[in-house]
Structure 1
């Protein structure tokens, strides 16, 4: 797509771009404050000012970006799918939070590197783009940054969105600044979305139908989370015959139900081990205190996944470890589903032979959970007795391979998306040559 095909700059976009050129000193001070508060990695904070900490590899390079942990963890599989179709392709993945970087670290394939996204200040952006010189920019996130988009477009870097999702509330918010979003989305040559509702919202914001495609969620095609075989063997030997289940990416309401169900199981004379892996690892100590007060034998899992002796409740305080614990678990209560958050990613446990249990709040993955239920590969639980009964049901074992089969269907959609993105990059490389 050329500049002649894109909308011009309206007043809001011009204002944002003007501010982007002068906010660098304030942004730099803000980052220093965040370092002092422990919210930024002091060794890598300069990446957010566009200063690279890695060299750019020679040859074609694709830049993939996401913010949320779930979105970021879907990107390595997309990178691998693109590399399989174009050997020698290099991939840069950017994200914004320390938690997303920590989760991504163990799951980075060869030929893929990570940096933090620079703040949307013109000097930072220019340094970032001058260094990395991407041949394609792919955004797997609901939020986009105007100055980054505009500067990438000005340089002729093809822009794409994948895994797009826009619910009614998000659409209403964007519609209030409709001209701005019409101009920004007009810079994208391709937008892949998760569902027809999102496609309809992009159409209303002025995106031409020819640039839109309904692809489903790319999380369905994500590669299995990284394993830790030595730690898994060690913990498996410690567990012996004790079954293990996990409340994963949990919020307080999820944890309340999990602990209540664990109490019922223990009172019935069973001896399962419950692992609680909170969405926010910073809450681990509070969960340990809560479970201790409730009378459980509790152990916080030490760094390196060291467990002294499996207790009734183990609490995980590190991000990026779920690949190990899903492999050890027989079932997972997927978090954010008892709590009214909208549910987190069911594909992660499904790919690792772990049965899927969830609460009623699954709007974030409604179509995906419908597919799991159609295959009898997931189960709704609404209270502690129901959760305890599900964990004891022998039929749970048969759900595990069915869940893995549903998850495997996402590979085909991922491959089609990789081919579409490579075609955008090829057009740029051909023009450059």
Structure 2
């Protein structure tokens, strides 16, 4: 494939510095803390383990959060063909490793190589992938160009208009790189329009939504759910899921304000640390609240104002019962749960200005109308009050359902294309 001058110039400038540039880049990243010291060699194309036998699917994302649609995709592909193996690479280093625990054992996780000469060749020579699914929004020209030149089919998934600082002075570079992808799955219509404007042929692009994040919806006892739903009847309910200790006062303050408009309102408070439940109950009771404690088998009776859900593993139950869920940690900067857990079960999502590693997921839900970002206590109060209106919260819940359903459809379509590509290549 002919390269425009922009890409040729860029790759030539990289080649002049080659390995020395890659090593300097790695050293700088280690000093800054943006690289993983225990796995630094992977960035130079050096593997940690042998290549598995048989067909190998390579899935690449910029960071572990961008790759959270991969576990479901890997599971689906593995169900279709038992002989498949999977290599998942990321560019960014996340010390919390949110992806690692979610990937099935047959998937290998490592860092992508730098795009400089030597690193990519070592990487491709070792892994010999049969197809690459690229989900990163920031392109690495050397890695993409050399992968395509090696005859690896490349598919762009979760596609948006690519970004990379400094490309404006390299004419045509994005257009050339986009042409290396045999197929493009756009995340939405805006992305499709922008990508076509950058030179992607309309017959190579489909708008399918974003890959499904997470696995199956959180489970619960249906009998328990039905019993509690009957007990709550038409009582308005909102949930604070995974709230940290430094958010309790904010949440109870919001609840107190909203109860002035809806005196029967129930707050289900699921603390981030369930062990805090009994102490929290005593504190709230000392402040005058009528409290129920799940671990003591209390029921959310009509007089209960705050119900503390301190039994682990029951969030699937509370998401099903609460039309509105605030995701804890997003006001305080503490640990934050995956917002798709709530969205997949029909609960409208509220979150604060500190979404942690789930920023992109929250923003996808927000853009779809399934989530709202609140800036502070007063904003949260106004939003909870607004969502007491059944039609308002129903619109958000419907949007949440659409997003999660579209994610499943996107995953289905990518699975179909991957299997067709492997069949065509005879692997």
- TM-score, shorter chain, exceeding 0.5: yes
Q: 2: CA distance between counterparts of 1:310 and 1:128?
A: 53
Residue matched to 2:107: 112
1:263 aligns with 2:253: yes
Q: 1: CA distance between counterparts of 2:24 and 2:166?
A: 29
Q: 2: CA distance between counterparts of 1:200 and 1:139?
A: 19
Q: 2: CA distance between counterparts of 1:349 and 1:258?
A: 20
1:186 aligns with 2:179: yes
Residue matched to 1:384: 380
Matched-pair contact (CA < 8 Å) for 2:240–2:269: yes
Q: CA RMSD in A?
A: 4.7
Residue matched to 1:89: 84
Residue matched to 2:128: 133
Matched-pair contact (CA < 8 Å) for 2:58–2:87: yes
For residues 334 and 216 of structure 1, do their structure 2 counterparts lie closer, same or farther at Cα, with a shift above 3 Å needed?
A: farther
Instruction: Spell out, residue by residue over 1:404-430, the C-alpha distance to the aligned partner (whole angstroms, 9 max, x if none).
Output: 754245323311221112323333346
Which segments of 5 or more consecutive residues in structure 1 lack a partner in the other structure?
A: 1-5, 230-242, 277-300, 314-322
Q: 2: CA distance between counterparts of 1:16 and 1:326?
A: 50
Which structure has greater helix proportion? 1
Q: 1: CA distance between counterparts of 2:214 and 2:410?
A: 13
Q: 1: CA distance between counterparts of 2:348 and 2:406?
A: 17
Q: 2: CA distance between counterparts of 1:337 and 1:306?
A: 20
1:206 aligns with 2:202: no
Matched-pair contact (CA < 8 Å) for 2:159–2:187: yes
Q: 1: CA distance between counterparts of 2:280 and 2:331?
A: 24
Tell me the secondary structure at the aligned position of residue 72 of structure 1.
Answer: coil
Larger of the two Rg values belongs to structure: 2
Matched-pair contact (CA < 8 Å) for 1:225–1:348: no
Instruction: Spell out, residue by residue over 1:109-164, the C-alpha distance to the aligned partner (whole angstroms, 9 max, x if none).
Output: 23211111112211111111111110001111211111111111111011110010
For residues 160 and 53 of structure 1, do their structure 2 counterparts lie closer, same or farther at Cα, with a shift above 3 Å needed?
A: same
Tell me the secondary structure at the aligned position of residue 241 of structure 2.
Answer: strand
Q: 2: CA distance between counterparts of 1:101 and 1:247?
A: 17
1:45 aligns with 2:45: no
Q: 2: CA distance between counterparts of 1:326 and 1:87?
A: 33
Q: 1: CA distance between counterparts of 2:202 and 2:328?
A: 35
Residue matched to 1:124: 119
Q: Which of the residues 410, 414, 417 maps onto 1:417?
A: 414
Q: Which of the residues 53, 56, 63 maps onto 1:58?
A: 53
For residues 150 and 104 of structure 1, do their structure 2 counterparts lie closer, same or farther at Cα, with a shift above 3 Å needed?
A: same
Tell me the secondary structure at the aligned position of residue 70 of structure 1.
Answer: coil
Instruction: Spell out, residue by residue over 1:37-74, the C-alpha distance to the aligned partner (whole angstroms, 9 max, x if none).
Output: 44433221111111111221000001001114432101
Q: 2: CA distance between counterparts of 1:245 and 1:199?
A: 36
Residue 325 of structure 1 deviates from its aligned partner by 9.0
Residue 222 of structure 1 deviates from its aligned partner by 2.5
Tell me the secondary structure at the aligned position of residue 69 of structure 2.
Answer: helix
Of residues 391-400 and 142-151 in structure 1, the stretch that sits farther from structure 2 once superposed is 391-400
Tell me the secondary structure at the aligned position of residue 58 of structure 2.
Answer: strand
TM-score by length of 2: 0.67
Instruction: Spell out, residue by residue over 1:383-413, the C-alpha distance to the aligned partner (whole angstroms, 9 max, x if none).
Output: 1322454798999999998677542453233
Residue 354 of structure 1 deviates from its aligned partner by 5.2
Which segments of 5 or more consecutive residues in structure 2 lack a partner in the other structure?
A: 221-237, 284-311
Q: How do residues 253-402 of structure 1 correspond to structure 2 at under 5 angstroms?
A: 260-265=250-255, 273=269, 311=280, 327=316, 332-333=325-326, 346-351=339-344, 355-357=348-350, 383-387=379-383, 389=385
For residues 429 and 334 of structure 1, do their structure 2 counterparts lie closer, same or farther at Cα, with a shift above 3 Å needed?
A: farther
Q: 2: CA distance between counterparts of 1:50 and 1:150?
A: 16
Matched-pair contact (CA < 8 Å) for 1:262–1:388: no
For residues 15 and 353 of structure 1, do their structure 2 counterparts lie closer, same or farther at Cα, with a shift above 3 Å needed?
A: closer
Tell me the secondary structure at the aligned position of residue 136 of structure 2.
Answer: coil
Q: 2: CA distance between counterparts of 1:10 and 1:385?
A: 56
Matched-pair contact (CA < 8 Å) for 2:208–2:409: no
